[in-house]
Structure 1
Amino acid sequence: MALSNNVIGAINCLAMLLSIPIIGTGIWLANQAENSCVSVLQWPVIVIGVGILIVGIIGIVGGFWRVAPLLIVYLIGMLVMIILLGALVVFVFMVTTRGSGHPVPSRVYLEYHLEDFSGFLRHRVHGPFKWARIKACLSSTDICAELNQTYHMAQDFFNAPLSPVESGCCKPPTECGYTFINPTYWISPINTAADIDCLAWNNDQSELCYSCDSCKAGLLASLRKTWRKANVILIITLIALICVYLIGCCAFRNAKTEEIFRRYKQGYT
């Protein structure tokens, strides 16, 4: 029984360690410069990671110190955490299936349309109050200003692999026909009726296209890209956690069986 308890405790240590990549993923999401303006995914990830950490500690105590009630709490609690993590993984996958960029003639960078994204993501930037806060956050960064230091010629800029936020927020849509002066200063639009964002563009460096739907779409494209990367880590961790949990269930069952046989033998001696 002692050996079985030690095995269970060691397995629970692995479960506790698997909380580290989950918590780390949440912290990584919170520290992404462009995505820090929309605090959505990082907190559920961190909360689940901390929950797994706490449940793992309970399992370690129950395993090494042979406290059966704590092991039962561990088994139930870890099952709940696995279900929550699995639900989060599926949710992230579903809301990020849409939202790829569109190629533009004679340009390397892509442009993004708000209607391409899932309703959940669009809701994150919908409404004047929400976007006013996000806009203030984006405009306070150096995302667009850094483009002026990097690209001085129009062709160099057109051949640049811009990030979604740079493409959506720092320049007007290509179909408007603006003339390039520098990455954040454009004049003489040819077709202001091509897109509502054509009239929203402003050469004021604190405005630019931060009020454009293309900026909202660019931010969502950046969120989508980051969330999909995070989801890969969560999926791998979820699979490992399920394997550890199943092994722990088997070890706990074997330990209980061993205890029953030991008591049975003692009853006949």
Structure 2
Amino acid sequence: MSRLSNIVIGILKFIAFLVFITIVAVLIWLSTTSPRNSCDQIFDSPVFVLFFILMMWIATVYGVYFREPCIFCVSSLVIFLLLVLVFCFCIFALVITNKGAGQVVSGRGYKECRLRDYSNWLQKRVSDTKNCRRISSCLKYNKVCHTLQHSNLTQAQFYEKKLSPIQSGCCKPPTSCGFTYVNATVWQKPAANTTFSDADCNTWDNDKNTLCYNCQSCKAGVLAKLKRYWKMDAIFYFFIIGFLVMYCSMVCSAFRNTEKTMPSTDA
């Protein structure tokens, strides 16, 4: 039985090593890819919590291998509490990103997003003055409209172009404004006394440093990108939770078996 337990522990260590390397690689990707390093850092997912879970996971394996019950119990408890925290985040992320989707515009190859279509929590966060200023500055710094500014597209080509949610919301005025196309980032407004139903029409400016960076549609474009990546994160985190629950159950079983097979130290 002792030999069997050692074999099981060896297999668990090998699996732990492979999965640990895989998860760490994915977590590094999640924390360093441009979508997460760009303009939605105010909505960062708890990647650091998962790194801490992995450290506790290593401590758990150490406790089993070297038969240290205190290390095993403490690290297992911490893992359980952190998994509950990550699970709550996943549910929260799925709930608040459930609403909101780009609207198809007739005769256009792109969609347009509306801020009011997203959850109230996201609307408040992205509309906060400090966050709004930070996002706008980040979009300008990353030159999200740069390719459009130098595209030399005709009107027909532009209308057929598939724009990202951020390009659609930040680099051009909403279609409802009825502006006349000059080029991808320059549009001619109607007469000065024209009244617009959409406030973004008044916010738009042909200046390359202004455009529609302060528009509601631009905020909606940021949220559209955020929605996609938070859903990806939630699915990945659910996978980690499921694996760690299953793995920790196996580790606990192996730990109990090693405890049973340890020779008694009683006289």
Q: TM-score range by the shorter chain?
A: 0.7 to 0.9
TM-score (norm 2): 0.87
Amino acid of the structure 1 residue aligned with 2:79: M
Amino acid of the structure 1 residue aligned with 2:23: P
Q: Could you report, residue by residue, the CA deviation over 1:192-216 in whole angstroms, capped at 9, with x for unpaired residues?
A: 4130101100000000001110001
* Counterpart in the other structure of 1:235: 238
Q: 1:88 to 1:130 in 2, by over 3 A?
A: same
Gapped regions of structure 1 (runs ≥ 5): none
Give the 3-state SS of the residue equivalent to 1:24 in structure 2.
Answer: helix
Deviation, structure 1 residue 26: 6.0
Deviation, structure 1 residue 41: 4.6
Deviation, structure 1 residue 80: 1.9
* Counterpart in the other structure of 1:38: 40
Amino acid of the structure 1 residue aligned with 2:26: G
Distance across 1 between alignment mates of 2:93 and 2:81 = 18
Distance across 1 between alignment mates of 2:139 and 2:251 = 46
Q: Could you report, residue by residue, the CA deviation over 1:13-43 in whole angstroms, capped at 9, with x for unpaired residues?
A: 6456448526734643553247622214546
Show the 5 A alignment for 1:1-269: 1=2, 4=5, 7-8=8-9, 10-11=11-12, 14-15=15-16, 17-18=19-20, 20-21=22-23, 24-25=26-27, 27-33=29-35, 36-42=38-44, 44-45=46-47, 47-150=48-151, 152-189=153-190, 192-259=195-262, 263=264
Give the 3-state SS of the residue equivalent to 1:143 in structure 2.
Answer: coil
Q: Could you report, residue by residue, the CA deviation over 1:87-136 in whole angstroms, capped at 9, with x for unpaired residues?
A: 22212111111111111111121111111111222222122222112111
Moved more, 159-168 or 35-44: 35-44
Give the 3-state SS of the residue equivalent to 2:46 in structure 1.
Answer: helix
Distance across 2 between alignment mates of 1:13 and 1:115 = 50
Q: Could you report, residue by residue, the CA deviation over 1:128-173 in whole angstroms, capped at 9, with x for unpaired residues?
A: 2221121111111221121133451111111111111000000000
Q: Retained in 2: the 8 A contact 1:89–1:234?
A: yes
Q: Retained in 2: the 8 A contact 1:9–1:62?
A: no
Q: Could you report, residue by residue, the CA deviation over 1:210-236 in whole angstroms, capped at 9, with x for unpaired residues?
A: 111000111111111121122222222
Q: 1:56 to 1:92 in 2, by over 3 A?
A: same
Distance across 2 between alignment mates of 1:132 and 1:21 = 34
Give the 3-state SS of the residue equivalent to 2:243 in structure 1.
Answer: helix
Q: 1:127 to 1:224 in 2, by over 3 A?
A: same
Q: Retained in 2: the 8 A contact 1:168–1:218?
A: yes
Amino acid of the structure 1 residue aligned with 2:213: Y
Q: Retained in 2: the 8 A contact 1:5–1:66?
A: no
Q: 1:151 to 1:162 in 2, by over 3 A?
A: farther
Report sequence identity in percent. 32
Distance across 2 between alignment mates of 1:26 and 1:227 = 16
Deviation, structure 1 residue 78: 2.1
Distance across 2 between alignment mates of 1:41 and 1:24 = 19
Deviation, structure 1 residue 74: 2.7
Q: 1:176 to 1:129 in 2, by over 3 A?
A: same
Q: Retained in 2: the 8 A contact 1:14–1:244?
A: no
Gapped regions of structure 2 (runs ≥ 5): none
Distance across 2 between alignment mates of 1:97 and 1:131 = 22
Moved more, 97-106 or 126-135: 126-135
Q: 1:247 to 1:34 in 2, by over 3 A?
A: closer
Aligned residues: 263
